[in-house]
Every structure is written in structure tokens, then in C-alpha cells.
Structure 1
Amino acid sequence: MTIKTHPQNILQEEWIMVLRGYAQKAEQAGQLHPKQLALIFEQQWFKALVAKDYGGLQWSLPQTVRFEEAIGWVDGSVGWAFTLCCGAGWFSGFLDKSFAQQIFKNEKVCLAGSGAPSGIAHILDSGNYKISGEWSHASGAPHATVFTANCFLEERNKIKAFCFLKDEVQMIKSWNTIGLVASASESFAVKNLVIPKERCFEIEPAKAVIKAPLYQYPFLQLAECTIAANMSGMALHFMEECEIHFKQKKYGETFMWENEKLQSIFRKEEANWSAARSAMLEAVEHSWQILLAKDKISESLLNQVSNSSQQVVKVCRHLVNTLYAFTGLSGARMNTLLNQIWRDFQTGSQHAIFIDLN
């Protein structure tokens, strides 16, 4: 395969060696390996979307999306943990400034959390909050320093977001999926926890505390394109491993790669992936430039970002499932890289944001 804008071009070779070199040990341990985490903290990747006011990198959305794809290509679990923890770091633009300065002083800060409103919050006479609840799928939970969670605020009949410190939550080992094992997307819970009112926030552009374009970008489309980019990276990695497998595996008297039917199927899937990927990257770039120039993105352009992100995942699903059918038992063996990528992709593609019942 020859890809002009291959995601590996934005990564240093030593980064790839560390992240992939410890991927198997990370899966065995059920969480990211210390060597992988050391690199992430050294490069401050969990601060990619954290505001510069708090020592963050505050990357642009196009830069973030391209990196999401690249790190997803390197390893599924690392990419998934980065994508979700980095996404939670984006909330820095909406947090109380004194609280944000406090938590982001930590060089190993990492935000994890859940978007499900599975907690109940009550306003106390002091203005603080009393919260109970349990939340699932907090990617990166074992190394998280702050947890974010949505709660139903009964007194106001609305949903609001809150922050809990690591020592305030009970982590529950519940992550039991076929893939993305090392992302350690565990559950967490609190019971009758009282927290200061400063730890409540809302992720609406009008509620942004940091007045930078990054925090004016709508959350839905930001989530769609960043997670879709991650899936694109995993799909590309799967294609590349399939090509290696097909060139080494014989079908009758010849290697599988020499089969014209398989070549045609492979090239078709590759072309569809490339077209869908390009459309999403262009939509993201266009929407970002419009935001910078006009402070507001039209609904039609936001729909393009959503539709192109959803299309990427649909195309990647078809690609992975089509090529998998030709991998034989090598694709089914749990100890092969081919199988691990397949499992990671299948797990990530089940994210609720890409389940379409319309």
C-alpha cells in the first residue's frame, strides 16, 4: 500500500516502537504499560486539548484529528485511551478557572469519564452538590486523576456535568470486551459525595470560560470526527496487516496476494476508505477555518462533518469485515496482531455515537 498522507508521517519512529512494542504486555495487564504512559506524559498528549492558560497544548481540531488517526493506527488501546482522555481534557475550556489551575498543575493529569447521565445530583443550601451514581466506560480509568460525569439535577430538572477527584471515586473493574482491552474503560461510582459548586460545568459554547475557537466548536461533531479518525487509523492498520498476511499465505499453489479476485476486493476497499477519509478531513478543515473566520459554523457544514464522520466508520466496518473473511484461522487466533487489531476495531466501532437506528 502506498498512501501519500500516511498517518505515520506525523509520528517519530521511536514513539511507534514504544507504543507498539509494549502493546501485547499492556493487553495482558489490562491497562496501558508504564512505558507507554511515560511517553504519553513526556509528550503531554493527554493535554492536547487542554487550554494554554493551564499549560495545555490547545491543538487545533484538524491537528487533533490527524493525530487521533495516527495514534489509532499505532495501537488501538493507546489510541482509544488518548482519544477519550484527550476529549475529556477539552472540558478545560468550561471549568472554573481556579479549579482548572489546581488539577492541571499535575504533570500526569488525565481526565476520564462518561457521558451517560447515570448519576443524581442535589443542590445543598450552601450551593454545593451532593451526588450519587455509577458510570461505565471511563477509558483510561486506572491512570485518571480526575473523573467527569453527567448527573440529573433534580431541583432544576436538567443534566449537568461534574468533576470528581481520583480519591473521591470507587473504581469498579467492569471492562470485559473482546478488544481495546488495555484502554481499561472501567466503571466508577460515588455515593453521597459532597463537592464544591465550582466543580459543576456545562459544555455549551456560550458557557465557555476560555474564549478560544477550540471551545466554540460543537461537542457532538468534535466527538464524531475524533473517534472516527481513531477508527480510520485502526482500519488502515488492519489493511496493512492483511496485505502482509496475504503475501505470506498460500492459496493452493500460489500466494493469496496473487489472486486477482482478492486484489480487486482489497483495492476497492482501500479506495473507498481513502475517499471517505479525505471527505472527513476536508470537512473538518473547512469547518475549522470557517469558525476562525466567522466565529460560527453553519448547520449545513456541521452536518457535513457529522455525515462524513459517520461514513468513515461505515466504510471502515465494511472494509474490516470484508477482508477479515479472507484471513482464515490466523485472523481468529487471539495471539496474532491481525486478530488484536480486528478485536480492537470491532469494540471501538460499537461506540454509541455510531449506532444509527434512523
Structure 2
Amino acid sequence: MQHFSEEIIQQVRAYSRQLEATGKLSPEILAYIYEHQLFKLFLPQSLNGREMALPEALGIFEEAAQIDGSFGWLVTIGCGGNFFAAYLSQEVAETLFSPENAVVAGSGAITGTAIKQEAGYNVNGQWQFCSGAHHATIFTANCKIGATEAETIRSFVLLPDQVRIIEDWKTFGMQGTGSHSIKAENAVVPVERTFDLSQSPLLFPDYLLYKYPFWQFAEVSFAVVALGVGLHFLEEAFATLEQNRQRRQDASPERYAFILKKYETAREELLQAREAFYTAVTASWQEMETQQMLSEEMKKTVSRASKKVAKIARQAAHEMFPYLGMAAATETSLLNQLFRDLHTVCQHTTLISYED
């Protein structure tokens, strides 16, 4: 891996079971993330960020997910929240996003209400799937504005002392992401801590990432997590195949050759989908550099490539799973965890295709 040392790879993987059990990153892993600004890949340098181009950052997300699915998801989601900095005032953006440990957890659901008051807005609601809730310093939530502004939708920035975390993340995979619900009751949010994603960004006009369409941004970000987990599954599947061959002296050479061929085919198909995915993303970034926007055709190309690489990753795991014995079916095995993580990532609506 290009972006992570062997030491941190082993440290994260050694903590993987505990991460699943607690849904919380260890202080040591969080310290590593802060030191290497892994939650700040998409923040401008003026906010102590790394101001990366999208294709480069996706390579980091992929590797992080290949180390551990929940770790990769948390790094990816943590960076995704950087997008919102451009929709706030300079002063508020600096206050919220400049600290070393700054990171957003939030939800795209519109499950809150806000009533305009003299001091700002009174916010109430409950929002699901706030990944990284336990280490977040910023929470974002969408609300319908009260009766005087019927049907208006606005996003709100809530601080940790304004929300209660409800530990209801009970999925069979990605258990380590701590993607719990948050609840706010009569939280007072000043106007300057609200924004509207349907409008153009207010800040950092020279940073192309903030002009990239948000839907395609989400698609490519989630797709590389599926890709990374899928590659890790195949890595572990091959290791299991080799261990079984060495352990069983009576192992059939024909059986081994059959499964090995399955593995090689699945891996080759995934690597081809990976190449097509990065080709599409790179082309989209080049179009952003020349046109400052994406054409509708390019948006479709990126979306198709994102969905396809996730689909191929999922199919690769399906193809190998029956041949990996009880190790794959045992809940406490790494193979099983990877299988569950991969399918949980691929449930995200941005990765579901309704085309063949």
C-alpha cells in the first residue's frame, strides 16, 4: 500500500474485532488519523487541510477500506463532511473545521424541524446513520422550516452538547462505524451555523472539489470503500485456500485448481472494474479542470462506473464464498466479517443500480 505503513495496517487490523464490538476508534488510531490529517483531505490549506484532488483522495479511501472496512468508511465519511465548509462564512468555517480533531457526522435525511426565532432557529428531530458519532466534533442535520417557511429545507450545524447519541446501529456489517442516530431537543442554532446545499458554495472558489456534483462525489467515495473491502476479501480468500491446501494432505489437486481458477477470475474482473472506475473518475476531474463543471453524460459515466465496481466486488465475494468452507460461515472469522462489511456498504442507495 502506498499511503499506509505496515505498522498502522497491523495496528488497525489487530483492533478490528474491538472496533466491531464498540463502534469506536481507539485513541491511538484516532491520534494517527489526526496526525496524518485523514479527516481533512478535502479541506483547503487555509483550514489546515490537505486540499487534495479527488482521484488522489480516492486512492487513500480504497487503501483504508482494504485495511479494515469500518476504518475505511470512517475516514471516507469524515472527509465527506469537509464539503460543507464551503457553505458557511469564513469565520464559522475556521472555527468549526480548523481544529486538528475537527470531523463531521451527519445524516442526509430530512427528519427534523426548525422554527425561526430571534436567536436563530429552534431545532428538534432525530436523524439516523451518523457515522463516527462518537468522535465527531460537528453534527449536520436537515430540517423542514416551520409554518412561516413551509416546505423549505435547510441544513443545520449542531455541536456535540446539543445532541444525544442513540446507539441504534444494529446492522450485520460495518458494525465498527458507530453509525448511530442523533437527537436534538430545542437546540438553538444561530443563522450563521445553517446552510443550503442547493445553492452555490460561498467560499474557496479555486478549490475544484467544492464544485464537483455532490451526488457523484458520494457515489465515487462509497464505491472505493466497497472496492477496498472486496480486494481484502479476495486477499483473505486466497490465504484461506492456501492454508487449507497445506493443512490437508489429502486435498484434491483438481479441487484446488478449480477454486484457484475461480479466485483468479474474480480478482481479474474486479481489477478490470477498478481500472474502469478510476479512468472515469480521472476523466471527470480533468473535465472539471477544463470546464469547471461536469456534463450530464460525464455524470452518467461516473455513476455507472461507481455502481459497477461495487457490483463486481460483491459478485466476487459471492463467487468465492461457497468454496471457503466453514471459515466463511463462522461469525467470528475475518472472512465472514469482510463478507458482511462488503454487503452492508453495497446497500447504500448510491451504489444500487437498476440497470443490467
Structure 2 length-normalised TM: 0.93
Pair 1:227-2:219 in alignment: no
Select the residue among 115, 120, 127 that pairs with 1:128.
Answer: 120
Report deviation, 1:246. 0.7
Select the residue among 80, 85, 107 that pairs with 1:92.
Answer: 85
Select the residue among 140, 144, 151 that pairs with 2:132.
Answer: 140
Asked whether the equivalents of residues 280 and 305 of structure 2 are also in contact (C-alpha less than 8 Å), the reply is yes
Report deviation, 1:258. 5.8
Select the residue among 137, 154, 163 that pairs with 1:160.
Answer: 154
Report deviation, 1:314. 0.9
Counterpart in the other structure of 2:266: 269
Report deviation, 1:161. 1.2
Report deviation, 1:41. 1.1
Q: For residue 216 of structure 1, what is the amino acid of its counterpart?
A: K
Counterpart in the other structure of 2:242: 247
Counterpart in the other structure of 1:330: 327
Counterpart in the other structure of 1:3: none
Select the residue among 170, 185, 188 that pairs with 1:194.
Answer: 188
Asked whether the equivalents of residues 58 and 224 of structure 2 are also in contact (C-alpha less than 8 Å), the reply is yes
Matched residues in 1 for 2:150 and 2:264: separation? 55
Q: For residue 129 of structure 1, what is the amino acid of its counterpart?
A: Y
Counterpart in the other structure of 1:9: 2
- Measured against aligned partners, the alpha-carbon deviations of 1:302-355 in whole angstroms (never above 9, x if no partner) come to 111111001111111111122112112101212221112112112211112223
RMSD, aligned α-carbons: 1.9
Counterpart in the other structure of 2:345: 348
| SS state at 2:204 partner | coil
Length, aligned pairs only:
350
Q: Say if 1:208 and 1:332 are closer, same or farther in 2 by CA, change over 3 A.
A: farther
In percent, how many aligned pairs have the same letter? 33
Pair 1:104-2:101 in alignment: no
| SS state at 2:2 partner | helix
| SS state at 1:160 partner | strand
| SS state at 1:151 partner | strand
Matched residues in 2 for 1:102 and 1:306: separation? 34
- Measured against aligned partners, the alpha-carbon deviations of 1:244-301 in whole angstroms (never above 9, x if no partner) come to 1011114782267963322222222112111111111111111111111221221111
Matched residues in 2 for 1:19 and 1:255: separation? 36
- Measured against aligned partners, the alpha-carbon deviations of 1:77-115 in whole angstroms (never above 9, x if no partner) come to 101111112111221122222111111232211111011
Q: For residue 44 of structure 1, what is the amino acid of its counterpart?
A: Q
Asked whether the equivalents of residues 216 and 303 of structure 2 are also in contact (C-alpha less than 8 Å), the reply is yes
| SS state at 1:157 partner | coil
Pair 1:238-2:230 in alignment: no
Deviating more after overlay: 30-39 vs 64-73: 30-39
Matched residues in 1 for 2:316 and 2:94: separation? 44
Counterpart in the other structure of 1:57: 50
| SS state at 1:137 partner | strand
Matched residues in 2 for 1:118 and 1:95: separation? 22
Unaligned residue ranges in structure 2 (runs of 5+): none
Matched residues in 2 for 1:193 and 1:170: separation? 11
| SS state at 2:127 partner | strand
Runs of 4+ with deviation above 4 angstroms: 255-258
Report deviation, 1:133. 0.7
Asked whether the equivalents of residues 111 and 143 of structure 2 are also in contact (C-alpha less than 8 Å), the reply is yes
Report deviation, 1:120. 1.3
Asked whether the equivalents of residues 257 and 263 of structure 1 are also in contact (C-alpha less than 8 Å), the reply is no
Asked whether the equivalents of residues 141 and 185 of structure 1 are also in contact (C-alpha less than 8 Å), the reply is yes
Q: Say if 1:339 and 1:90 are closer, same or farther in 2 by CA, change over 3 A.
A: same
Trace 1:282-297 onto structure 2 (pairs within 5 A): 282-297=279-294
Asked whether the equivalents of residues 23 and 33 of structure 1 are also in contact (C-alpha less than 8 Å), the reply is no
